[in-house]
Amino acid sequence: MVAALASIPLVWLFVRVGGASTDRVAELLVRERTVTLAVNSAVLVACVSAGCLVLGLVTATLLARVRLPRPGLWWVLAALPLAVPSYLLSFAVLAISPTAQGLGPLVLVLVLACTPYVTLPAAAALRTADTGPEDAARTLGRGALAAYCRVTLPQALPAALAGTLLAALYTLSDFGAPAMLRYESFTWAVRAAYEGSIDRTAAAVTALVLAALTLLLVVAERVARRRFTRARATTAVRRVPPVRLGRAGTALAVGGLSVVAAVTLLGPPAALIARIVRAGGVDVDWARLVSAAWSTLMLSGAAALLAVALAVPVGVLAARYRGRTVSAVESLSYLGQGLPGVVVGLSLVFFSLAVLPGLYQTAVVLVFAYAVLFLPKAIGATRSAVERVPPEVEEVSRTLGRSARATWWAVTARQAWPGVATGGLLVMVTAMKELPATLMLRPTGVDTLATLLWGRTAVASYGAAAPAALALLVVACVPAALLVRAGTSREERS
């Protein structure tokens, strides 16, 4: 059921492409432009993934294994970029250097925005990693760093790769940043095709190629993950004592983390404020700003609830019953994230017009679009949370007189809910930043902070965009901070 809902956009794509003449589709598919776009997108995804993996693993190592002053602060700083939309970062880059464009700046922006997807799971995995093998490696003659890299780091690799997949999917489907930095990626082309002509077949074909790329990414990650053994399931977890780096080393680590955090977190507001100052102050439309913030919160909150409701059955299945069908359902649910917001948006416009006309341009459709788009985050979180509940505990509950359903509520859900809630928060943070689907599906007259911002930047009035951007940052930081707190407190308890 969930998979069926999640695949509505894809099915619509097939219907669109199937409805067009074969010649036209073939012509669109093989033309040089498709190849250029594919190469552009592939290069972008490869660069961003590699960047995120490296930066994320280094950051995770520093967070989990090195003694830093104020450790909690660095966790928060490492997670907060989740709240910063990539188009805001692009905007900051443009504000500093108006001529910046192309691959270089775009990769920088996306790596900074996406690294937390790798850092957080990798750091969590490193914190609970089994250090026995590392000790053994040390006694077998490896140096500290070599033993860590060869033995312990691979234990965190499955988590890091899952995070990298999220980063890659984000990159593939991101629209705002490539558009602002003028890099011809697939999403950009899809939107250009939708807007630029009445022939939507071109856009649909382009989007379908994009979906194929997504599937490729998901499969690649599966294969990579299978090569590394799964995390062991011992219950006793020893807290690893953090390493002292010495004065110079600590300074270097703190300095590095600070620069990354400052560029990501302080860059956009600094650039925005500089804009406001240069424009000599702006008249803020407070009423509009507050109502936009309110609808942003409501819509993303509802999306989080819906996504969790849809994700729980899939996540539980994926955690408990590994099998071909379940894997397929899970992969299918991942498609949402690879499909650009524009595609999901427009397909749902058509879908709601054709099937449920009453819902067209209502919050219901927009919330559903968010849920489909960000389902993978909720499923991933649910799966790992449920995997942490040992099956024996459920079996004991069964023998003590609870049915399977009662056991789920009394035991599994009770132990897994922090993880599931984390997934919901992730969905909420991401939905707040979502731009293209919101632009297409929002109810008439309703603005979110993101659309408010876009409306201003599209007409190049960067100064006027600044208040909305600042508000978006503030609103989005709240769940991100909660997310970090939930994550750290959970680890300290276990």
Query: Under the criterion CB under 8 A, does residue 414 sit at the interface with other proteins?
Result: yes
Query: Which 415-434 residues touch other proteins, going by CB under 8 A?
Result: 415
Residue with tokens 């939905």: 431
Cα 468 to chain centroid, rounded: 22
Binding residue (CB under 8 A) for other proteins from 86, 397, 422, 448: 397
Q: Which of the ranges 224-232, 388-396, 429-437, 470-478 carries the binding residues for other proteins, by CB under 8 A?
A: 388-396
Query: Under the criterion CB under 8 A, does residue 406 sit at the interface with other proteins?
Result: yes
Q: Which of the ranges 34-42, 105-113, 407-415, 475-483 carries the binding residues for other proteins, by CB under 8 A?
A: 407-415
Q: Rounded distance, CA 230 to CA 157, Å?
A: 10
Q: Which of the ranges 189-197, 326-334, 368-376, 400-408 carries the binding residues for other proteins, by CB under 8 A?
A: 400-408
User: Taking CB under 8 A as the rule, which mask of x and - marks residues 212-251 in contact with other proteins?
Assistant: -----------------------x----------------
CB of 317 to other proteins, least distance (A): 19
Query: Under the criterion CB under 8 A, does residue 401 sit at the interface with other proteins?
Result: yes
- Given its phi and psi angles, is residue 178 left (phi above 0), alpha (psi -120 to 50 degrees) or beta? alpha
SS3 of residue 234 by DSSP: coil
Binding residue (CB under 8 A) for other proteins from 30, 393, 459, 474: 393
Query: Under the criterion CB under 8 A, does residue 325 sit at the interface with other proteins?
Result: no
- 8 Å CB contact between 314 and 376: no
Quote the longest CA-to-CA distance of the chain.
72
Provide the residue type at 286 as one letter.
W
With 0-12 / 13-18 / 19 or more C-beta atoms within 10 angstroms meaning exposed / middle / buried, residue 219 is exposed
Query: Under the criterion CB under 8 A, does residue 400 sit at the interface with other proteins?
Result: yes
Is 138 or 402 the residue whose CB approaches other proteins more closely?
402
SS3 of residue 60 by DSSP: helix
Give bridge partners of residue 493 from the DSSP assignment: none
Q: Which of the ranges 63-71, 208-216, 386-394, 428-436 carries the binding residues for other proteins, by CB under 8 A?
A: 386-394
User: Taking CB under 8 A as the rule, which mask of x and - marks residues 23-52 in contact with other proteins?
Assistant: ------------------------------
Closest Cα to residue 472, out of 436, 440, 438, 434?
434
What's the sign of the alpha-carbon dihedral 61, 64, 69, 74? positive
Query: Under the criterion CB under 8 A, does residue 409 sit at the interface with other proteins?
Result: yes
> How crowded is residue 278: how many other Cβ atoms within 10 Å of its Cβ?
11
- Given its phi and psi angles, is residue 447 left (phi above 0), alpha (psi -120 to 50 degrees) or beta? beta
Binding residue (CB under 8 A) for other proteins from 102, 273, 395, 459: 395
Helices (H), 7-31: 8-19, 22-30
Binding site residues, other proteins, CB under 8 A: 235, 390, 392-393, 395-403, 406-407, 409-411, 414-415, 493-494
